[in-house]
Amino acid sequence: MRAAATEVPARARRGGEADSGVRLGRVIRWAIIAGMVVGVLLPFVPLLLWSVSFSWRFPSLFPVEFSLRAWRYLGTPASKLGEALLGSLVVALTVTIISVIIGIPAGRALGLYRFKGKTAMEFLILAPVIMPGIAVIMGIHVLFIRYGLSDTPLGVILVHLIPTTPYVVTVLAGVFANYDPDYEDQARVLGANSLRTFVRVTLPMIFPGVAVAGLFGFLISWNQYVLTLIIGGGRVITLPLLLFGFARSGDKAIAAALALVFLGPAILMIILTTRYLTGSSAIGAFGRL
Amino acid sequence: MTTVTLERVSKHYEQSTAAVRDLSLEVPAGKLVAFLGPSGCGKTTTLKMIAGLITPTSGEVKFDNRCVNGIPAHRRDVAMVFQKPLLFPYMTVGENVGFGLRMRAQPRWRIQERVREMLSLVRLPDCEARWPRLLSGGQEQRVALARALVVEPRVLLLDEPLSQLDANLRIEMRELIVRIQRQLGITMIFVTHDQEEAVMLADRVALIFEGQLQQYDTPRGFYTRPKSARVARFFGGVNFIAGRKDGTRVTSTVGDFAVTRTEDLADGPVLMTIRPEAVRFTGQATGNTVRGVIRSTIYMGTHVRYLIEAAGCDLQALGDPGTPYEEGREVSLVLPADQIWVVPDERHG
Amino acid sequence: MEGQGRIWIMLAPVLVVIVCLYLGGLFLGLLQSLSYMPMIGQTVPNLQAYRAIFGHVEFWRSLALTLEVAFGATLISTLLAVVCALTLRGSFRGRRFVIFVFQLNLPIPHLVGGVAIIMLFTQSGLVARMARILGLIDTPSDFPALVFDPRGIGIMLEYVWKETVFIGVILLAVLHSIGTDYEELAASLGANPRQQFRYVLLPLMMPGILSASIIVFAFSFGAFEIPLLLGATYPVTLPVVAYRAYTDADLSSRSQAMAMSVVITAIITLLTYVYMRLSRTYLRSR
């Protein structure tokens, strides 16, 4: 066994069977892991610390004075938090509901059936993922102005559908790909009409997938900045717009507290999906938030 | 021509029971040996320990009596063919086959030569430029075989190489493997769960249940002298009669029998087993006879299989399809002494 | 049996969104970039806007910066992601927990990452304070300008933070589906661990690496929020220039803004296409 220990390649990258393992490689591995963990978690540290600091000037490594003044400020109407929170919630929820409603039939079509033009359709659905939002938004703005949709929540909701729909449809297509429509036939044979079948059979079966798709849609809408900025024209206030304003201003404490509030749904998502999350479609959505 | 020896090799994994327990056997140089057993019995683990892909928890693997435990897989000079051909999809057939030689930094002309040689050996000449995804399953497996042989390994290991192929291909590949083995004289170990295959191809078979070696014998030995009832059953043995051995006689509820092959078995509770083809119908009540009633007959084309109930025991016998016996008929069977094989009765400890 | 018609009805709402809003937006943008804006009376398409932006030095500087930031962020995050995925691949104690921590930043919005970058890497940020404690610097201005800087380092830092995890998680899934069989096979044929990586594992991973990195590149090139937040006043990345031109009071800037958007979209489309062709020839049999 001693011979195995001296067999030490410079890059201990081979995973798999730890048996043919390399001692020195273990040290490197744990160093990389430490780097990873620190790298991922580090940005959260200043956010947490700043949000509870009173003043925290260079060069102190920790806040000199702790206080909840940032949070208290957020509680006042002057912070516009209430308005922004409401705006974000209303928009995101509406967007989620709409995209799920139109996404279910589309996902069903893509997941269950083969048809002419399917590949083109799949490609089309994914196009918004690659193309930058700014090009589309500036183009459509004119149309929205024309039809009185600009500067309105409705206009914002409509444009949010652009980035949300691809993900929602993709997740739902995946759900339906694993779905067996025979259950519906079974229900019909036993006497249920279409609506009942849908409510009693289809919906419960696809519900977990719908929940995931909805969460995605919600988060994507929740995080939108450019779209809301341009179409909302400054009249529709959502959390990211508010955060942006505070981020570039001097008050880091408020920005940090606001950022943590903004993080709320994301954290919820992590908790909820640690149990259910599989598949790269989910991961793809996360990456674009 | 390398001898492979396993000395008390064991493999334990942390959370589960031992995958391989105390396995010792020797594969003679230039022979074809099968590791046989049901799925999950540890034969692939053993194979991988020989290959050096898994390290034994205890025990030694030796090549030509030299311990190779410390030598990693890529330096052991063994080659392995897996269940799935695993041809590298981004390389042509020729590049796949030449892979091992490229890793050993052989000159290009030599690689080309050897690749051509091996491909014609596996009956796939002129396939160097083809892409793996265009090949059929059988062709892929042959390329995998060529890829393993091209490095002239000391030992060739095959992990259920034929289980993914359909029946006709399997027969073809079996012949190919045996032919190559004889031609090159290479020490070959292959793993299978198909007992027919093992018996057909191997010079010696190692039967493994739950990580333990049950019997290591020539194929014929499993039929004529299985070590236990379980082994006998694995090889299709039927006709087990419980009894008590005393010297060269066994007493049972079905009758008293003289037995000649007992292989130094201790007296005590035993199981007698005899192959259906050895049971004969007789008219006389001489020694070693049993009276019974035919319960069912099954026509098998070349013979008839009878299920006979005798004194509460189910026995199977074969008969000539030309003169069949009908159900319900009373018959006398003789169990010739030299055809009965006696194994310990595990149920009584 | 569902007729074809029924299927398209099911797809209709989504198609409306994609075609009307998305494609419509692109199309209208294209029209406006050609100075076709009936609203203000211009009904003759022309290439004036394009000539204007191509003649402007600011455009080229921004384009260069955007390409640098996009390539840089993509390259670094891809390399780091490969290292992380390979490290996380084997079995070791605490693996599930480490992977959980690793993918924690996936649902975190870029804006929050940007805010954190400001708090960490500005000249009076946490890292600078660390440097002071270690005695490397004295005053904030001794610390290099990493955020709000003309080279877009802060922007790249934020992208790398998020995209490394994004690519890494994809690669972990890829590695899982590849399994260890190929490497074991290569080992039995005489390949040492280094050769196993170079001749077996890396080629098998390549399709995944390429797909993931092209997505990251497209995003980094066309993104707007982070450069707006973390970029300098000048030069800025192209999307930000386009936005500024768009919100300019001077209406003629509008068509220039559109022209820039079209250029951005065209570059991403082109590079994606080239990338895919290249990866196809690299992978040949795929």
CA dist., res. C80 & res. C71, Å (int): 14
Cβ-nearest to C224 among A103, A134, A280? A134
Q: A201 and A227 share a domain?
A: yes
CB A143 within 8 A of CB C34: no
Q: A89 and A225 share a domain?
A: yes
- Is C40 part of a structural domain of the chain? no
State the total domains in chain C: 2
Q: C22 and C133 share a domain?
A: no
Touching subunits of C (3+ CB pairs, under 8 Å) are: A, B
Confirm whether the ipTM is greater than 0.95: no
User: In this complex, is the C-beta atom of B14 within 8 Å of any C-beta atom belonging to chain C?
Assistant: no
Q: A102 and A240 share a domain?
A: yes
Q: Which helix (H) or strand (E) holds A55?
A: strand A53-55
Q: Which helix (H) or strand (E) holds A157?
A: helix A153-177
Number of separate helices (H) and strands (E) present in chain C: 14, 0
Q: C213 and C80 share a domain?
A: yes
Q: Which pLDDT value is given to residue B348?
A: 62
CATH code, C271: 1.10.3720.10
Touching subunits of A (3+ CB pairs, under 8 Å) are: B, C
Burial class (CB in 10 A: 0-12, 13-18, 19+), A37: middle
Chain A residues with beta carbon closer than 8 angstroms to that of B70: 1-4
- Is C20 part of a structural domain of the chain? yes
Q: Which pLDDT value is given to residue A21?
A: 42
Nearest CA in chain B to A16: B53
Q: A47 and A110 share a domain?
A: no
CA dist., res. C21 & res. A143, Å (int): 10
Work out the average pLDDT over C131-149: 84
Nearest CA in chain C to B104: C190
CB C49 within 8 A of CB A141: no
Q: C90 and C213 share a domain?
A: yes
Question: Which residue in A286, B73, B140 sits closest to C110, CA to CA?
Answer: A286
Measured in degrees and rounded to the nearest 5, phi and psi for residue B217 equal -155, 170
Structure tokens at A281: 């479609």
Q: C104 and C205 share a domain?
A: yes
- At A4-56, the pLDDT tens digits run 333 333 333 343 344 444 455 788 889 999 999 999 999 999 998 888 888 78
Q: A94 and A135 share a domain?
A: yes
Residues of chain A with pLDDT under 50: 1-22, 278-289
Measured in degrees and rounded to the nearest 5, phi and psi for residue B34 equal -110, 135
Chain A residues with beta carbon closer than 8 angstroms to that of B52: 20
CA dist., res. B104 & res. C192, Å (int): 10
Work out the average pLDDT over B127-144: 91
* CATH architecture entry for B4-224: 3-Layer(aba) Sandwich (3.40)
Higher pLDDT, B144 or B263: B144
CB B212 within 8 A of CB B35: no
SS3 labels along C77-116: HHHHHHHHHHHHHCCCCCHHHHHHHHHHHCCCCHHHHHHH
Touching subunits of B (3+ CB pairs, under 8 Å) are: A, C
Peptide bond into A204 cis (omega under 30): no
- Is C123 part of a structural domain of the chain? yes
- Is C18 part of a structural domain of the chain? yes
Burial class (CB in 10 A: 0-12, 13-18, 19+), C60: middle
Q: Which pLDDT value is given to residue C282?
A: 66
User: In this complex, is the C-beta atom of B56 within 8 Å of any C-beta atom belonging to chain A?
Assistant: no
Query: In one letter, which amino acid is B321?
Result: P
C-alpha angle B77-B82-B83 in degrees, rounded to nearest 5: 165
CB A247 within 8 A of CB C133: no
- Is C41 part of a structural domain of the chain? no
- At B6-45, the pLDDT tens digits run 999 999 887 777 788 889 999 999 999 999 998 878 889 9
**Cα torsion for C269, C271, C273, C278, to the nearest 10°?**
-170
Q: Which helix (H) or strand (E) holds C125?
A: none
pLDDT at C110 over 70: yes
Higher pLDDT, C2 or B17: B17
Query: In one letter, which amino acid is B181?
Result: Q
Q: Which pLDDT value is given to residue A18?
A: 40
Pick from B20, B45, B55 the residue to mutate for testing the A interface (most A CBs within 10 Å): B55
Q: C23 and C104 share a domain?
A: no
Q: Which pLDDT value is given to residue A6?
A: 36
Question: Which residue in B220, B232, B197 sits closest to B34, CA to CA?
Answer: B197
Which of A268-272, B216-220, C37-41, C116-120 is predicted least confidently?
C37-41
DSSP, collapsed to helix, strand or coil, labels residue A53 as strand
SS3 labels along chain B: CCCEEEEEEEECCCCCCCCEEEEEEEECCCCEEEEECCCCCCHHHHHHHHHCCCCCCEEEEEECCEECCCCCHHHCCEEEECCCCCCCCCCCHHHHHCHHHHHCCCCHHHHHHHHHHHHHHCCCCCCCCCCHHHCCHHHHHHHHHHHHHCCCCCEEEEECCCCCCCHHHHHHHHHHHHHHHHHHCCEEEEEECCHHHHHHHCCEEEEEECCEEEEEECHHHHHHCCCCHHHHHHCCCCCEEEEEEECCEEEECCCEEECCCCCCCCCEEEEEECCHHHCEEECCCCCCEEEEEEEEEEECCCCEEEEEEECCEEEEEEECCCCCCCCCCEEEEECCHHHCEEEECHHHC
Q: C60 and C125 share a domain?
A: yes
Q: Which helix (H) or strand (E) holds A20?
A: none
Q: A29 and A170 share a domain?
A: no
CB A95 within 8 A of CB A160: yes
The residue ranges of every structural domain in chain B are: 4-224, 230-348
Domain B230-348 has CATH 1.10.1670.10: no
Note whether C239 contacts A134, CB cutoff 8 Å: yes
User: In this complex, is the C-beta atom of A288 within 8 Å of any C-beta atom belonging to chain C?
Assistant: yes
**Cα torsion for A128, A131, A134, A138, to the nearest 10°?**
-70
Q: C6 and C52 share a domain?
A: no
Domain housing A185: 78-287
C-alpha angle B113-B116-B122 in degrees, rounded to nearest 5: 140
User: In this complex, is the C-beta atom of C161 within 8 Å of any C-beta atom belonging to chain A?
Assistant: yes
pLDDT at B346 over 80: no
Domain housing C170: 48-283
Q: C60 and C18 share a domain?
A: no
CATH code, A116: 1.10.3720.10
CA dist., res. A12 & res. A27, Å (int): 10
pLDDT at C140 over 50: yes
* Nearest CA distance, C285 vs chain B (angstrom): 6
Q: Which pLDDT value is given to residue C2?
A: 53
Question: Which residue in C235, C88, C69 sits closest to C160, CA to CA?
Answer: C69
Report residue C285's pLDDT band, with 50, 70 and 90 as the boundaries: very low
List CB contacts of B215: < 8 A, sequence separation 6 or more.
Answer: B205, B206, B207, B221, B222, B226, B227, B228, B231
CA dist., res. C170 & res. C101, Å (int): 15
Cβ-nearest to B86 among C185, C196, C206? C185
Q: Which helix (H) or strand (E) holds A43?
A: none
CA dist., res. A170 & res. C238, Å (int): 30
Helices A280-287 and C202-222, packing angle to 10 deg: 30
Work out the average pLDDT over B199-222: 91
Chain A residues with beta carbon closer than 8 angstroms to that of B54: 17, 19
Cβ-nearest to C25 among A29, A139, A263? A139
pTM, rounded to two decimals: 0.84
Largest CA distance in chain A: 79
CA dist., res. B113 & res. A81, Å (int): 76
Cβ-nearest to C29 among A46, A139, A274? A139
Q: A53 and A87 share a domain?
A: no
Structure tokens at A211: 């929940």
Q: Tokens 């990586």, residue?
A: C197
- At C177-236, the pLDDT tens digits run 898 999 999 999 999 999 999 999 999 999 889 889 999 999 999 998 999 999 888 889
Measured in degrees and rounded to the nearest 5, phi and psi for residue A94 equal -60, -45
Q: C17 and C85 share a domain?
A: no
CA dist., res. B98 & res. B148, Å (int): 9
Nearest CA in chain B to C187: B74
Q: C11 and C123 share a domain?
A: no
- Is C172 part of a structural domain of the chain? yes
Q: C6 and C107 share a domain?
A: no
Structure tokens at C65: 């910066």
SS3 labels along B132-177: HHHCCHHHHHHHHHHHHHCCCCCEEEEECCCCCCCHHHHHHHHHHH
CA dist., res. B116 & res. C193, Å (int): 28
CA dist., res. B38 & res. B162, Å (int): 15
Positive or negative, the CA dihedral B115, B116, B119, B120 is: negative
Chain C residues with beta carbon closer than 8 angstroms to that of B79: 188-189
Burial class (CB in 10 A: 0-12, 13-18, 19+), A251: middle
Q: A65 and A105 share a domain?
A: no
Nearest CA in chain A to B73: A20
Note whether A262 contacts C109, CB cutoff 8 Å: yes
Nearest CA in chain C to B132: C285
State the total domains in chain A: 2
CA dist., res. B118 & res. B158, Å (int): 17
Partners of B268 in the β-ladder: B245
**If you average pLDDT over every residue of chain B, what do you get?**
89
List CB contacts of B26: < 8 A, sequence separation 6 or more.
Answer: B3, B4, B5, B6
Number of neighbouring beta carbons within 10 Å of residue A195: 8
Q: C203 and C107 share a domain?
A: yes
Question: Which residue in A240, A238, A230 sits closest to A145, CA to CA?
Answer: A230
Q: Which pLDDT value is given to residue A199?
A: 85
Q: A27 and A165 share a domain?
A: no
Distances C206 to A11, A237, B103, C80, C99 between C-alpha atoms, Å = 19, 43, 21, 15, 22
User: In this complex, is the C-beta atom of B103 within 8 Å of any C-beta atom belonging to chain C?
Assistant: yes
Q: A185 and A42 share a domain?
A: no
The DSSP-derived string for C163-223 is: HHHHHHHHHHHHHHHH-SHHHHHHHHTT--HHHIIIIIIHHHHHHHHHHHHHHHHHHHHH-
